[in-house]
Amino acid sequence: MFSVKLLGKKVQLSPKNSPIWTLQGFWNQIRMSSSHPVAAVCQVTSTPDKEANFVACKRLVEQAKESGASMVFLPEGFDYIGSNREETLQLSESLDGDIITRYSQLARNLDVWLSLGGFHERGHDWEADRRIYNSHIIINGQGDIAAVYRKGHLFDVELTGKGVSLKESSFTIPGPSLVQPVQTPVGKVGLGICYDLRFPELSLALQRQGAEILTYPSAFTVATGTAHWEVLLRARAIETQCFVLAAAQVGAHHEKRTSYGHALAVDPWGVVVGDCGGTDMGVALIEIDLQKLKGIRRDMPVQRHRREPGFYSSLD
């Protein structure tokens, strides 16, 4: 069975023959009648096969657009997940390479905004040092790049006894700074990537700059996802009073790596309103009700209650 939460209502669906079953028949029966914009949060299983990954993501974007979404969120590693360091570097591209060009054309053809949540971008000194950025790219409905955020917190973790050993910094350059939240058809979106989720300073900084939606496209390991994924996403939503959208990788990418899944959407009160489950590729459609967000911030004005910066640094 394929389980998602659609606008807060859980539905159970039987998959068709295709490994990427489009929910078209079901979605056509529940076309959005609300005036609120709709975001689509995607869950995929990337492999080292870039062409197969593009075909899979393209189908999800197309079905999301047909079902009323004005912005589609794809996860970290949407382009590929390599099986070793050498393959990861070899498959990387620049922003003007084939992959981003094809997604720009897709966005323009469908008139849909895209959040491409973790692109393997060759660094500025690629020829000299063979290192990459993990880049979150926003493409607008005209196919233009609206923003690029390069992941600031790199996943260098050794979890003894849990089978997790990754050192992202061995081939990835940390991004130099945050980027301003981007005005999109679904609201003002603040950009993070995966491990950034564990640093509340980032989410609060984006909220102070006007973010209404925080997005954390991810490829969480099974061990860390089981323990921390939902609670961290809900915490970021509650403390910032933002919608939080987290597209995710799911399942086995190759023999060395498996991802947790559960692409989630959380509302500003901390309620999970979309969940793609832990086994299959798919999409959750979420209404972004910014009036609800404003009401929560009005009734519990957390940001107004914050003290001056000196209060929080008084122990330093």
| Alpha carbons 39 and 70: distance in angstroms, whole number | 6
- Catalytic residue from among 42, 194, 242, 276: 194
Residue listed under structure tokens 């491990």: 195
- Catalytic residue from among 76, 93, 121, 212: 76
Find the largest Cα–Cα distance for the chain: 61
| Burial annotation 64-81 (CB, 10 A radius, 16+ → b, else e) | bbebbbbbbbbbbbbbbb
- Catalytic residue from among 121, 151, 188, 242: 151
Q: Which DSSP symbol is given to 110?
A: H
Q: Which of 38, 64, 57, 2 is nearest to 265 (CA)?
A: 38
**Own/partner pairs, 287-291, CB within 8 angstroms, 24+ separation:** 287/7, 287/32, 287/34, 287/36, 287/37, 287/38, 288/36, 288/37, 288/38, 288/39, 288/186, 288/187, 288/212, 288/213, 288/243, 289/36, 290/36, 290/187, 290/212
Task: Give the phi and the psi of residue 275 in degrees, each rounded to 5.
Answer: -150, 120
From the centroid of its chain, how far is CA 68? 19
Contact 212, 293 (CB under 8 A): yes
Q: Which of 235, 212, 238, 215 is nearest to 294 (CA)?
A: 212
| Alpha carbons 65 and 70: distance in angstroms, whole number | 7
Q: Is 151 a catalytic residue?
A: yes
Contact 69, 285 (CB under 8 A): yes
> Which residues carry out catalysis?
76, 151, 194
